[in-house]
Structure 1
Amino acid sequence: MNVSQMKDRKQNLRRGVYLLPNLFTTGGLFAGFYSIISTIHGNYDVAAWFILIATVFDGLDGRVARMTGTTSRFGVEYDSLADLVAFGVAPGVLMYMWALRPFGKLGWLAAFLYVVCGALRLARFNVQINTVESKRFLGLPIPAAAGMVASCVLLFYYLGGAGTIKKVSVLLLIYSLAFLMVSSIRYYSFKDPELVKRQPFGFLVLLIFLIIVIVARPEIMLFTFGLIYVVSGPLGLVFGAGKHGPWDDSSDQVVAEVNEENGLSGEDE
């Protein structure tokens, strides 16, 4: 980072920060922290719900910032830190206490792998934010991975479970989510500008129907939609929708070239 860039950042901080989007980010951070507290006290279903609440705040802060023209570098960095707590640490602690603790070292290593892959996913997103297509994410988004974790817990309690669970399938799920977050498999981002434009009347009816179904059976439907989204990336790759392999680093090469042109290095990020 050169001297002029450092001066620009200091000047931007002196001017202040935008309150509205950062308040939504703080709400997501609070929900993630409260999820951890609930997990410590053994309230795993409450912890899962607060992870899902954090996803709502995460979806709102960016959209509010774009709609009000209040996007900033500070907001991007703050959002990433909040996401790491709410969608990385909170689900990792929840899954360890709820399902992975009986597996001993293999269990807490799986929880840690989930957290570190989530951190890597966020770091890669920040680096590539201006070099990848806006309609698709590169790798499974960490909020989607956290939502999958939370919906599994909620489905367990909805089906009559109580306390903790010991299932190898949960261990495999955590490893799979960690892999998908750091892979280069494409996932639809729901940021298509066409979605906010005029749509057929039937599309509105379909959305209303989906909302009614989710409200009627939230535990089942959240798990179902989460699972569909998680497997949509690998299925798209298998059936030709993905243009690159799961470990293709062509996008990273583009980022490296852009950073080199701008005088940036890995130490500056």
Structure 2
Amino acid sequence: MTFQKTRSRKRYQNERRSIPIRALMPNAITTLALCSGLTAIRYAVSGEWENAVYAILIAAVLDTLDGRIARLLKGATRFGAELDSLSDVIAFGVAPAILIYLWTLQSWPRWGWLFALSHAVCCALRLARFNVNIDYLDQPHKSAGFLTGVPAPAGANFSLMPLYAWFVSGYDLFRMPLLVGLWISLSAFLMIADIPTFGWSVLRVRPKLRLGLLVMVAIGAAAFISAPWAVLSVFSVVYTVLLPFGILSYAKVMRGEEKTTPEEA
């Protein structure tokens, strides 16, 4: 009798230790994003700037997919959230910082490295803040469908805008260390800033505009294949222009909630 109870207990413990396949798939995608970020560093070290940017973009696509697949398969875990943050620090914090430094900031060694560090450190601080706030229910921006600050993938893309402009134009103006250093500092600040930014859940499309939007997406995809750096430059500029509108939209939502809240007696 005791032997059967021991076997049952061991079998129960083994079942509790086992992990369903659906929980591994999002983690596998996150691991691929981490590998893509590390590959970007490898290309940056060898001076292959375009390949380095492509690797960061691939990491951004994978980072977008892993969370959605985890929710779709109901395979979200705390381990996956921690792994995702570590991957994001490498792919969107360390990789862009090293890329920008080796591309131009190394010609200004003392201050250039500080500017590069600011991006990597602020990316890590943003993700640490995100992990700490996961269990907090009182998150005004999140409850309204907004993000707090610029997300790490968008921050990496924002920091690479001078590189995109240099790819398109070839002008060394966009490679000036002071200009690039100030720009990457701005991207670092936006990642940790306590400002509301648009999230996917807050964006809505009217039914009559749906087909037009799909056509625009198709045209954008074709344009990206033909002229990727020009498209990325336009996308980055549009995203930058939308930042103030995110703040105004959040303020409007808050005013609407205050009006619908019944007054205290």
Normalising by the residue count of structure 2, what TM-score does the alignment of the two structures yield? 0.77
Select which of 218, 224, 249 maps to 2:228. Answer: 218
Task: Tell me by how many angstroms 1:198 deviates.
Answer: 10
Select which of 16, 19, 41 maps to 1:16. Answer: 19
- Matches of 1:65 and 1:12, distance apart in 2: 21
- Matches of 2:103 and 2:40, distance apart in 1: 13
| Cα shift readout 1:49-77 (whole Å, capped 9, x = no counterpart) | 11111101101111111111111111100
8 Å CA contact 2:220–2:231 kept in 1: the answer is no
State the one-letter code of the partner of 1:143. P
Task: Tell me by how many angstroms 1:158 deviates.
Answer: 3.3
Q: Is residue 35 of structure 1 aligned with residue 40 of structure 2?
A: yes
| Cα shift readout 1:56-115 (whole Å, capped 9, x = no counterpart) | 110111111111111111110000000000000001111111121122221111111111
Say which SS state the counterpart of residue 200 (structure 1) adopts. Answer: helix
Closer/same/farther in 2, CA of residues 205 and 62 from structure 1, 3 Å limit: same
- Matches of 1:201 and 1:241, distance apart in 2: 25
Closer/same/farther in 2, CA of residues 223 and 168 from structure 1, 3 Å limit: same
* Map of 1:207 onto structure 2: 217
Closer/same/farther in 2, CA of residues 227 and 199 from structure 1, 3 Å limit: closer
Q: Is residue 228 of structure 1 aligned with residue 238 of structure 2?
A: yes
Select which of 62, 74, 99 maps to 2:79. Answer: 74
State the one-letter code of the partner of 1:158. V
- Matches of 2:250 and 2:202, distance apart in 1: 17
Task: Tell me by how many angstroms 1:161 deviates.
Answer: 6.0
8 Å CA contact 1:52–1:150 kept in 2: the answer is no
* Map of 1:102 onto structure 2: 107
| Cα shift readout 1:17-72 (whole Å, capped 9, x = no counterpart) | 72211111011101100111111111122111111111011011111111111111
8 Å CA contact 1:148–1:223 kept in 2: the answer is no
Closer/same/farther in 2, CA of residues 12 and 148 from structure 1, 3 Å limit: farther
- Matches of 2:68 and 2:251, distance apart in 1: 28
Identity in percent: 35
Task: Tell me by how many angstroms 1:156 deviates.
Answer: 1.4
Closer/same/farther in 2, CA of residues 33 and 12 from structure 1, 3 Å limit: farther
* Map of 2:10 onto structure 1: none
State the one-letter code of the partner of 1:92. A
Select which of 149, 153, 156 maps to 1:143. Answer: 153
* Map of 1:261 onto structure 2: none
Closer/same/farther in 2, CA of residues 96 and 13 from structure 1, 3 Å limit: farther
Q: Which shows bigger deviation, 37-46 or 83-92?
A: 37-46
* Map of 1:45 onto structure 2: 50
- Matches of 1:65 and 1:105, distance apart in 2: 43
Q: Is residue 59 of structure 1 aligned with residue 61 of structure 2?
A: no
Q: How does 1:183-202 map to 2 (within 5 A)?
A: 183-192=193-202, 200-202=210-212
Say which SS state the counterpart of residue 157 (structure 1) adopts. Answer: helix
State the one-letter code of the partner of 1:16. I
**Structure with larger RCO (C-alpha < 8 A, sep 6+):** 1
* Map of 1:243 onto structure 2: 251
Say which SS state the counterpart of residue 63 (structure 2) adopts. Answer: helix
* Structure 2: unaligned runs, 5 residues or longer: 1-12, 253-265
| Number of aligned residue pairs | 231
| Cα shift readout 1:220-255 (whole Å, capped 9, x = no counterpart) | 111211232134223543xx33439xxxxxxxxxxx
| Structure whose alpha-carbon radius of gyration is higher | 2
| Cα shift readout 1:106-125 (whole Å, capped 9, x = no counterpart) | 11111111111101111112
Q: Is residue 158 of structure 1 aligned with residue 168 of structure 2?
A: yes
